[in-house]
Structure 1
């Protein structure tokens, strides 16, 4: 396997499932840190702030820093702030999305008369929240969704993801949102800005073909698929553009890098 100057690494399904660490995750980050190889955690999960992600990783024995975490919430907030500084927002989502939006000078409102409707994963979603979001889009608000993930891996199994929640509003209004997170280039370009490297020098590591692997393919980046989450080896083999590599887990990636 090629040795890269840096790695972009997914979290859910790659480093952990819910609160369960995936075997090889700690060892892989230890290997990168030992060899001083830059890496960023690029996640579609918009519910957590970078510091919270770091605490979760540290609880699993993984060394990380907040500036090594790029969330779809941060990428979403930057995207809106650049296009429309000070815009008003109706949002569904967790504290990570709320904090990112307000940190970028955006104004969160609790009604349908806003500039943007933004949907992130909301584990306390209600019919009323979806109704307000739907009315906002019908009133002409720009429709943004942090990511397309229709399912997310948890300890109980694969649960509804942000894409599933977003589909309620898009189906009701007939309006498709602009997606920010993987596999869209928007979040990947943000990560590459931080690294300051060319895509040919970096690999994307993840479990889910339709987000993690496609995100690398969409920016002409090599991809490393790990068989620890959603997409199986048999599934990725059938794709028109398969991942550059596929491994059972991150332990196997380390073995390849040590050759």
Structure 2
């Protein structure tokens, strides 16, 4: 295995499945820590703050801190700030605490329902017609439409529930504008994450269970990929498709006798 310097690790399906622990994923993270390898949990979830992610991971046996968590909320804030140098940037936000707390932590942003510069749509389990109407109006009036991620569905137990991509599709249909997506599988979040930790693409590998988000994020950003079959994607799902750099049934299968 290549001597990777940074591991960008997905969460749901890789180190846990809802409330269930993926033991091989937890052992994988422990081995990385013991080998003093850099890692960053790269999630598409905007409903949790980094501290909430840390607290959840603790419940699955992983002790970490917020410096090891990167979310589309953080990437969205960085993306906008890099492109705007005005004193105040108006936002209209659809989302939950993870998105709101990140955006409001930056003094450059202010909430503006009437004439925002950006409409940001993240997962919102309390989505209302009013929120969609305000977002649609703002986009029609010239606001840039950003979706934190394009996940159409999310696993919840044995059920697939509507994801942020489904919400964004409604706003897109009503406004006539498609969003710019930030989260996996887009390259934006990968590039922002690597900039945060100070590593290059050739030093990195993305680890995850979902071919359409995690692995395609690697393809799109020219970063190596490690697909573990402990979550969404199974071997038969990728027959005839571009293959990941590494494919394992679970993360215990990696040979840790070799330097990595």
Measure how far apart 1:96 and its partner are. 1.0
CA distance in 2, matches of 1:40, 1:121: 22
Measure how far apart 1:112 and its partner are. 4.3
**1:206-248: CA deviation from partner (whole Å, max 9, x where unpaired):** 1111211111112211100111222221222322x22111111
Alignment of 1:91-102 (within 5 A): 91-102=93-104
Alignment of 1:63-142 (within 5 A): 63-84=63-84, 85=86, 86-105=88-107, 106-109=109-112, 111-142=113-144
CA distance in 1, matches of 2:25, 2:159: 19
Which residue number corresponds to residue 248 of structure 2?
247
**1:141-191: CA deviation from partner (whole Å, max 9, x where unpaired):** 110010111122222432211111111111222211111111222111111
Count of paired positions: 255
CA distance in 2, matches of 1:112, 1:165: 21
Q: Does 1:39 align with 2:39?
A: yes
User: Could you list the runs of 5+ residues in structure 2 that have no partner in the other structure?
Assistant: none
Alignment of 1:1-259 (within 5 A): 1-84=1-84, 85=86, 86-105=88-107, 106-109=109-112, 111-239=113-241, 241-253=242-254, 256-258=255-257
CA distance in 1, matches of 2:184, 2:39: 17
**1:40-94: CA deviation from partner (whole Å, max 9, x where unpaired):** 0011111111111000000111121100101000000111122234211111111
State the TM-score, normalized to the length of structure 1: 0.93
CA distance in 1, matches of 2:135, 2:145: 9
CA distance in 2, matches of 1:15, 1:112: 42
* Higher alpha-carbon deviation: 1-10 or 91-100: 1-10
Q: CA RMSD in A?
A: 1.5
CA distance in 2, matches of 1:196, 1:77: 18
**1:72-126: CA deviation from partner (whole Å, max 9, x where unpaired):** 00000111122234211111111111111111221123x3431111000111112
SS in 2 for 1:90: strand
CA contact (8 A) 2:14 2:25 kept: yes
CA distance in 1, matches of 2:134, 2:61: 41
CA distance in 2, matches of 1:54, 1:203: 21
Measure how far apart 1:140 and its partner are. 1.4
State the TM-score, normalized to the length of structure 2: 0.92
CA contact (8 A) 1:87 1:115 kept: yes
CA contact (8 A) 1:3 1:257 kept: no
CA contact (8 A) 2:75 2:193 kept: no
